């Protein structure tokens, strides 16, 4: 039986009360099931509902999602999948929309999809049986996953001719996936470094800007983390000891979802240690089940030693601007 199932229940109950019962996914065995494309898409677009997805998992004695497993073993956190997909994929990277089981296989940069009613459907996904009857194979850069599902739901195509739908000429191809990341160092101390005979710790800011493409989920995300390592060697790790930092994020973005009207957003976020910050700050201006055709995403990340009610706080350290752009 899974441990710590009571966690999240109280917090998520309020969110569930604001989501219609028909939209809320269910757990059947070890799979999270959305009743259709519309229900699924509503969750991709509203980050405030993701806690209710966790609640579906923790209430089930048979379903374990990637996010739930990660909460129990945070040191083994997966860095390949975005936060939303971790909430819906089980530990075999599988979930279900309507009558179709879907596997998001990021390691092989592809998606697999098969009707749940097919014989051995689940095991064929787990075993990557690409030749199984009814198996649909989608490239990891595919931009029209939900459109394919809608066509299957509406019986305008079948699993036999699904490739025709994917290769048909489509208006507005998707923007390319892109990542910009860096770990600038901003302070060095004489602190003792565990397991190292020399003194000295170097602290950095782990900055990342990314457009994530996962066939059925797409997002623009920016994130800064306070990290450290031994000055004379070692790997960067989340600064659990020296997390006395204030963080700042200044961002602007414009994007088009499939050549729809342009959306412009701007955000300035600050997180202070003495206000409950944990050394991590992020901004996700786009999240959805449909891909973008254009984006221009710009962010400045800042960090400084934490200040508590200081009328003249020190300035933030801003290393350099970050930008990713496609389609413009």
Taking only the tens place, the pLDDT of each residue in 13-34 is 444 444 444 488 999 999 999 9
217 with 128, same domain? no
Per-residue model confidence as pLDDT tens digits over 148-173: 999 999 998 989 888 877 776 567 78
Query: Is 219 found in the same domain as 200?
Result: yes
Q: Residue 283: pLDDT band by 50, 70, 90 thresholds? A: very high
187 shares its domain with 152:
no
Which among 167, 197, 222 is the end of a domain? 167
* Residue 137: pLDDT over 70: yes
Which of residues 167, 196, 228 is at a domain's end? 167
Claim to verify: residue 26 and residue 159 sit in the same structural domain: yes
Q: Give a yes or no: residue 280 inside a domain.
A: yes
Same domain, 114 and 231: no
| 15 lies in the same domain as 162 | yes
pLDDT in tens, 177-223: 999 999 999 999 888 887 766 778 899 999 999 999 999 999 999 99
Q: For residue 45, what pLDDT band results from cuts at 50, 70 and 90?
A: very high
Same domain, 264 and 140: no
Would 89 be classed as within a structural domain? yes
Question: Does a structural domain hold residue 22?
Answer: yes
Residue 2 in domain: no
Residues 185 and 322 in one domain: yes
> Is 179 within 8 Å of 188 (Cβ atoms)?
no
Answer yes or no: is pLDDT of 145 > 70. yes
Residue 76 CA to residue 69 CA, distance in Å, equals 9
Percent of the chain with pLDDT over 70: 88
Name which of 31-35, 112-116, 170-174, 301-305 the model is least confident about: 170-174
210 with 282, same domain: the answer is yes
pLDDT at 4 over 70: no
Q: Are residues 159 and 289 in the same domain?
A: no
Counting the structural domains of the chain, the total is 2
pTM for the model: 0.88
Q: Flag whether 275 is in a domain.
A: yes
User: Residue 1 falls within a domain, yes or no?
Assistant: no
What does the pLDDT look like over 226-277, one tens digit per residue?
Answer: 999 988 878 888 886 566 899 999 999 999 998 789 999 999 999 998 888 8
78 pLDDT higher than 70? no
Q: Are residues 162 and 271 in the same domain?
A: no
Residue 37 domain boundaries: 9-167
Query: Span 75-94, mean pLDDT?
Result: 87
**Does residue 172 fall inside a structural domain?**
no
Same-domain pairing of 16 and 162: yes
CB 115 within 8 A of CB 159: yes
Closest CA to 113 of 88, 91, 84, 139: 139
């Amino acid at each position: 039986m899974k441990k710590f199932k009571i966690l999240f229940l109280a917090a998520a109950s309020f969110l569930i009360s604001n989501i219609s019962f028909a939209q809320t996914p269910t757990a059947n065995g070890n799979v999270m099931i959305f009743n259709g494309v519309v229900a699924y898409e509503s969750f991709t677009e509203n980050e405030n509902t993701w806690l209710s997805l966790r609640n579906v998992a923790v209430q089930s004695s048979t379903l374990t999602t990637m996010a739930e497993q990660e909460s129990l073993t945070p040191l083994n956190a997966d860095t390949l999948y975005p936060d939303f997909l971790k909430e819906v994929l089980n530990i075999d990277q599988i979930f279900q929309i309507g009558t179709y089981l879907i596997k998001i296989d990021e390691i092989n940069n592809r998606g697999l999809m098969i009707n749940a009613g097919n014989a051995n459907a689940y095991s064929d996904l787990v075993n990557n049986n690409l030749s199984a009857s009814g198996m649909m194979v989608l490239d990891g850069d595919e931009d029209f996953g939900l459109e394919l599902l809608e066509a299957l739901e509406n019986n305008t195509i079948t699993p036999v001719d699904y490739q025709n739908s994917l290769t048909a000429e489509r208006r507005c191809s998707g923007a390319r996936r892109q990542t910009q990341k860096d770990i600038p160092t901003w302070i060095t101390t004489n602190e003792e470094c565990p397991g190292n005979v020399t003194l000295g710790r170097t602290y950095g800011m782990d900055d990342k800007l990314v457009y994530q493409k996962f066939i059925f989920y797409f997002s623009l995300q920016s994130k800064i983390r306070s990290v450290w390592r031994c000055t004379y060697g070692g790997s960067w790790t989340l600064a659990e000891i020296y997390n006395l930092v204030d963080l700042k994020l200044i961002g602007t973005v414009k994007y088009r979802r499939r050549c729809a009207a342009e959306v412009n957003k701007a955000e300035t976020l600050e997180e202070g240690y003495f206000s409950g910050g944990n050394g991590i700050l992020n901004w996700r201006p786009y999240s959805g089940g449909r891909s973008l055709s254009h984006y221009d995403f710009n962010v400045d990340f800042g960090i400084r030693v934490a200040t508590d009610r200081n009328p003249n706080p020190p300035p933030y350290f801003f290393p350099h601007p970050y930008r990713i752009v496609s389609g413009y």
